[in-house]
Copies of this chain bind each other. A is one copy, B any other.
Amino acid sequence: MPKEPVTRNDVAEYAGVSTAVVSYVVNEGPRKVAPDTRERVLEAIRVLGYRPNATARALRMGTTRTFGVITPDGGNPLFAELAKAIDKEAATRGYVVLQTSADGDPEIERAKIGELLARQVSGLVLVAPSADPSVEGVPVIAINRSLEAVSSVRPAYREGARRGVEHLVSHGHRVIGLVIGGAGHPERELGWRDALEAAGLPEGPIVRTSFSREGGYDAARTLLAASPTAIFASSDLQAIGVLRALHEAGVRIPEDIALASFDGTPETEYTWPPLTVVRQPVEALAREAVQRLIDGEQSVEALTVPTELVLRKSCGC
């Protein structure tokens, strides 16, 4: 049976004090309360099972100590990891995170932003947003995508990719293919070019596809025609697709073709062979994002966080 909600009035009445005093006790301020009065109030709260109504509080205060997080796809392990890290980071600073996913649809993304704003969130984290949001009055930060109008935090895509490819080069590879997402993500591609150029190698074969396992799978089958001896994938998901395509083709990894990818989500440690990856600094990204939100730091300059090269079997190490 749905119990009637217990309000502050009930508590005040039960404890024989005014609602103001209850408020002081609940919030431990802004006025001091006599110890015994305080005890009576706490007792009343316990007995009645009182829970403060956060919406009323939000209405009164105009703020909620809540952040909204929107990812393009909750099923993507990288985004899931990011969301989790943001949640944890925010929690340590007394904020609650409301997470939702836009399913890769800009329209849904806009709608969800609206929902979150209507709920008076104190800040918004957009993970790899598809477009510049129009938001006023609330701090916003983008992760993994630089935008025109909002502050952003991102991994060192270009340099990270370069280091990954350089490592492949150091294993003696001379034909290094690239599997990369569609338009709008030039950095990892540039890093790949940087490494090849620096080594005096000709440009390798390149396939543009979606950031998905299927995309990687299809891309690898195309790439095989160009007989690369190594492949760099711009995301883990794609690398996992590549892995399957290579296995199916009877290609040995890393003996026949070496493989490395960008992201470094946990599952790459358990593929066969385990993947050498350029690890996204998930925790640091989350920390910086939350930090900026709380500080109201709204410089539009993008903050770049360094990546980490994790060597495992797939590169030949």
Which residues of A, 222-253, contact B by the 8 Å Cβ criterion? 240-241, 243-244, 247
Which of B55, B88, B272 is A119 in contact with, Cβ under 8 Å? B55
Interface centre among A99, A103, A273 (most CB of B within 10 A): A99
B77 near A99 with CB under 8 A, answer no
Chain B residues, Cβ within 8 Å of A274: 244
A136 near B2 with CB under 8 A, answer yes
Chain B residues, Cβ within 8 Å of A83: 74
Chain B residues, Cβ within 8 Å of A52: 118
| Total copies of this chain within the assembly | 2
A97 near B96 with CB under 8 A, answer no
Which of B75, B115, B213, B240 is A80 in contact with, Cβ under 8 Å? B75
Which of B80, B88, B118 is A54 in contact with, Cβ under 8 Å? B118
A115 vs B99: C-alpha distance when bound (angstroms): 14
Which residues of A, 258-286, contact B by the 8 Å Cβ criterion? 266-267, 269-274
Q: What mask results when residues 50 to 64 of chain A are scored 1 for a CB within 8 Å of chain B, else 0?
A: 011111101100101
Is A137 interfacial (CB-CB < 8 Å)? yes
A137 vs B125: C-alpha distance when bound (angstroms): 32
A129 vs B281: C-alpha distance when bound (angstroms): 30
A235 to chain B, nearest CB (A): 13
Chain B residues, Cβ within 8 Å of A137: 2-5
Interface size on A, residues (CB 8 A): 56
A266 vs B212: C-alpha distance when bound (angstroms): 11
A144 to chain B, nearest CB (A): 17
Chain B residue at minimal CB-CB distance from A98: B98
Which residues of A, 1-34, contact B by the 8 Å Cβ criterion? 2-5
Which residues of A, 98-115, contact B by the 8 Å Cβ criterion? 98-101, 103, 114-115
Chain B residue at minimal CB-CB distance from A83: B74
Q: What mask results when residues 74 to 101 of chain A are scored 1 for a CB within 8 Å of chain B, else 0?
A: 1101001101100110000000111111
Is A49 interfacial (CB-CB < 8 Å)? yes
Is A117 interfacial (CB-CB < 8 Å)? yes
A167 to chain B, nearest CB (A): 22
Chain B residue at minimal CB-CB distance from A2: B137
Chain B residue at minimal CB-CB distance from A216: B270
Which of B77, B96, B120 is A77 in contact with, Cβ under 8 Å? B77
Binding site for B on A (CB under 8 A): 2-5, 49, 51-56, 58-59, 62, 64, 73-75, 77, 80-81, 83-84, 87-88, 96-101, 103, 114-115, 117-120, 136-138, 213, 217, 240-241, 243-244, 247, 266-267, 269-274
